[in-house]
Structure 1
């Protein structure tokens, strides 16, 4: 049991590091690049294509690291007109079906995506000449994190369906 607790703690640390720290670095990079871009363009009348490329790829990384974070807390938008009208047990069944389907689809797309990322190392960005495999690595990372969070939700929903006890919700960082 101690090994499983240590493994869970290590996994939580890695996921937290990626979803909070790495995403925060890219957010800081994005806002810094945008601020300097505005100053360069409108004060010095000298736009910087390097800063534009940094802000573009930072934005992509933020999106693909933010989606798993929202999934982690169940904070994605839902079209819940019908969902709210049914019983809690049927809602759990809907969630289980959706999460299982989405997890299978993500798993199927992971390997072709990984092959593409490996292939893209020979293509470099226009301005900074960074290999695309580094710039687009956020997508396989997104898939892995989404699979992990979906599996956690499948476990929680299955446990609630079987026992009738709702799992404790993790505190959202934006509350």
Structure 2
């Protein structure tokens, strides 16, 4: 009965991967509009810069937390790659627990910051900064969940290449 779960997971993954692609396209179109307005029409517009900055912020934080899988991350892992698999497993246990703790401790302060920023809006688009920075909360929550899964898998002796959310993990 893993077929519906696999199909659902592929659909969610495709949707999550589409967000940075859409934002990158929006950045590109905004950049082209800015170039045309500045150098062809001789009437620069400011909203294009705002779109590019907001899109870049969302691409980086959304991409790192939601779209990038564990095996796609770039790491400096000379020490990690040179030790035995059992030591690597304990590295994953320790570092995933540390990251969950750090993100968990920082989450309330970041939540306060994001909700406080509703009082100010962006200059051109008049978007509340709480909307702009809401991706920070998404990043932190998804990162906490990701590293909890890595912690759980490592404690159970599974490798990071194993399926992050298999039917066995969901069943208990």
Is TM-score (shorter-chain normalized) higher than 0.5? yes
Secondary structure of 2:24's aligned partner: helix
Q: Give the length in aligned residue pairs.
A: 163
Unpaired runs of 5+ in structure 1? Answer: 171-175
Structure 2 vs 1, CA of residues 83 and 147 (structure 1 numbering), >3 Å: closer, same or farther?
A: same
1:63 aligned residue? 60
1:49 aligned residue? 46
Task: Describe how 1:1-175 pairs up with structure 2 within 5 A.
Answer: 12=9, 16=13, 19-69=16-66, 72-160=69-157, 168-169=162-163
Unpaired runs of 5+ in structure 2? Answer: 165-172
**Counterparts of 1:160 and 1:84 in 2: how far apart (Å)?**
17
Structure 2 vs 1, CA of residues 166 and 25 (structure 1 numbering), >3 Å: closer, same or farther?
A: closer
Q: What TM-score comes out, normalization by structure 1 length?
A: 0.79
Q: What TM-score comes out, normalization by structure 2 length?
A: 0.80
After TM superposition, the structure 1 stretch with the greater mean CA deviation from structure 2, 65-74 or 102-111, is: 65-74
Secondary structure of 1:108's aligned partner: helix
